[in-house]
Amino acid sequence: MTDAHLNLIDGNWLPGDHLTENRNPSDLSDLIGHYASATAEDVDRAARAAHAALPAWQARGPLARAELLDRIARRIDDEAESIGHMLAREEGKILPEAIAEVRRAAQIFRFYGGEALRIAGDAIASVRPGVDIEVTREPVGVVGLITPWNFPAAIPAWKVAPALAFGNAVLLKPADIVPGTAHLLARIIHEQGCPAGIFNLLMGPGSVVGRALVDHPLVSAISFTGSVATGRMIARSAAEGMKKLQLEMGGKNPMVVLDDADLEIAVPACLNGAFFSTGQRCTASSRLIVQAGIHDAFVTRLAEAMQALRVGPALDPSSQIGPVVSSAQLRGNLDYVALAAAEGCEVVGGGMAEGPTDGFFQRPALFLKARNTMRVAREEIFGPCAAVVRVGDFDEALAVANDSDYGLSAGICTGSLRHARAFRHGIRAGMVMVNLPTAGVDFHVPFGGTKGSSHGPREQGRHAVEFYTTVKTSYSFGG
Ligand code: NDP
């Protein structure tokens, strides 16, 4: 097949053993292209090539890495519109969000270009006379990066950029249903002069490619973003192989709205946090915890704003919410809508939406009168659905917000400095937002959670150095 998009292994574009169709979730008649599925043997070839290429890559030093990352950033920026178009077409995010995500990927590469030049160590006084101690950071080696479908540009960028910046070699396995954006990024990384073997793209199913990558003895570290179930499975295999591990998984992120909140802030923050990007964000505000005094006014305004959102094709400039990513995800979302009613919620919105094309369109949904014990308030849905839980006061709001297996992002809308401060200190989450949506983070600061949401060192910002390097302590005497 001439239009096939191939895997990048040891600097060569190679076919794998079969091709997978990439289709547009806004319009199933739109075939985006055919993408090669790698085999376990391809993973082995890439891992060996990566391992062999490491010494020369590390010997080139930080300036070569900084300059490479800067060139990649510039090229991503130059191509942001066309990559964003691919992202919107294959994932279903509306075009402005997709282009913004691609620009963020460029910013991440630029940021880590700078970090390549700022790898620091320590000189520490020894307790023994005449002995010097130096603590330095070294690359981990060959790293396996496994990414989900919901941020096909930003998540690969925030794993690949620090991995390269700190001198590692990369095997990237993107989600099988959105290979197009990763393929464009891989072409840019290759064309900008990344040495053969240092960056490898391995497309294909997680059950084959992901598994082979996690099990490969030459892979020293695995960074994964996706579901809790897959994360658990990977953790078990990685532990068997004694690999360094970083897992970013789900969220059931609470957004508290107190009686003293400004509705002009709270309603747009919840609308954005719960429904933008079709709710397909691990930081989505999927539990709205609302104090009794403001509850009815808040719910009326939010429901009105939610029902006015225009659901439609990702590339249609009038759309505000694109389609759900796949038929399986849509079915799952609709099952949760039915479950919400069965559990006793009053459901506003939530059915399938009519679209001009054959796509996976869903109307956003609010589950009113939810209790925090219900499944719809405890399980990550990953769609445009939010449960609303009514509470009496701040203490109850904080207790409900903390009553979750997850702890990724949490928000509060309040005019009270005292409550904002108590929330920031009392909430068990990796990220806290005051009068801001739970979703939407900066590219240069740590990202990650507590409890079931994350495992291992933080991603992004300067903290990424913890995962992508290992520490060496050197003692010397004499001279
Ligand atoms: P998965 O966890 O199944 O997939 C995430 C990545 O892991 C994909 O690249 C996938 O490959 C890969 N993978 C799957 N199985 C294995 C395996 N055995 N070994 C190694 N890698 C594997 O998430 P989905 O994309 O299927 O989404 C399912 C649910 O996960 C969503 O509904 C949502 O709840 C949650 N999710 C959370 C995200 C977050 O950011 N927190 C992001 C995306 C999803 P492949 O695509 O080929 O299956």
Q: Which tens digits make up the pLDDT trace of 336-349?
A: 999 999 999 999 99
pLDDT for 1 equals 45
For the residues 150-162, what does the mean pLDDT come to?
98
Q: Are strands 18-24 and 27-37 parallel, antiparallel or unpaired?
A: antiparallel
For residue range 363-401, list pLDDT tens digits in order. 999 999 999 999 999 999 999 999 999 999 999 999 999
Q: Would you say 387 and 350 are in contact if contact means Cβ atoms under 8 Å apart?
A: no
Cα(456) to centroid of ligand 1, in Å? 18
Q: How far is CA 435 from CA 100, 253, 363, 432, 438, in A?
A: 22, 15, 26, 10, 9
* Residue among 223, 269, 114, 262 at smallest CA distance from 458: 223
* Residue among 258, 297, 250 at smallest CA distance from 434: 258
3-state secondary structure of 348: strand
**Position in ligand 1 atom list of the atom nearest CA 233:** 18
Q: Is the pTM of this model over 0.95?
A: yes
Which residue minimizes the CA distance to atom 12 of ligand 1? 206
- The residue type of 127 is V
| Residue 282 annotated in active site | yes
* Residue among 350, 339, 387, 382 at smallest CA distance from 367: 387
Model confidence at 215, in pLDDT bands (50, 70, 90)? very high
Ligand 1 pocket, mutate which of 22, 213, 230 (most atoms under 8 A from CB): 230
Phi, psi of 385 (to 5 degrees): -135, 135
For residue range 26-79, list pLDDT tens digits in order. 999 999 999 999 999 999 999 999 999 999 999 999 999 999 999 999 999 999
Q: Residue 238 belongs to what H/E stretch?
A: helix 228-240
Cα gap 107→77, rounded to integer Å? 9
For the residues 329-356, what does the mean pLDDT come to?
97
> What is the dihedral angle through the alpha carbons of 303, 449, 182, 380, rounded to the nearest 10 degrees?
-40
* Residue among 225, 220, 177, 200 at smallest CA distance from 28: 177
Burial of residue 22, with CB atoms counted within 10 A of its CB: 0-12 exposed, 13-18 middle, 19 or more buried: buried
Give alpha helix (H) positions in 251-393: 263-275, 292-308, 327-342, 375-378
Cα gap 210→323, rounded to integer Å? 26
Mean confidence (pLDDT) of the chain? 97
Cα(228) to centroid of ligand 1, in Å? 8
Burial of residue 30, with CB atoms counted within 10 A of its CB: 0-12 exposed, 13-18 middle, 19 or more buried: middle
Which residue minimizes the CA distance to atom 48 of ligand 1? 206
Burial of residue 121, with CB atoms counted within 10 A of its CB: 0-12 exposed, 13-18 middle, 19 or more buried: middle
Cα gap 48→55, rounded to integer Å? 13
Cα(399) to centroid of ligand 1, in Å? 30
For the residues 441-469, what does the mean pLDDT come to?
97
Percent with pLDDT over 70 in the chain:
99
Residue in 248, 343, 380, 459 annotated catalytic: 248
* Residue among 330, 324, 325, 274 at smallest CA distance from 299: 274
SS3 letters for 124-162? EECCCCCEEEEEEEEECCEEEEECCCCCCCHHHHHHHHH
Cα gap 65→58, rounded to integer Å? 9
Which residue minimizes the CA distance to atom 44 of ligand 1? 226
pLDDT for 454 equals 97
Q: How many CA atoms lie within 13 A of 373 on its CB side?
A: 2
For the residues 125-138, what does the mean pLDDT come to?
97
Model confidence at 478, in pLDDT bands (50, 70, 90)? confident
Cα(332) to centroid of ligand 1, in Å? 15
- Tell me the two tokens of residue 442: 């900066």
- Tell me the two tokens of residue 62: 């930080």
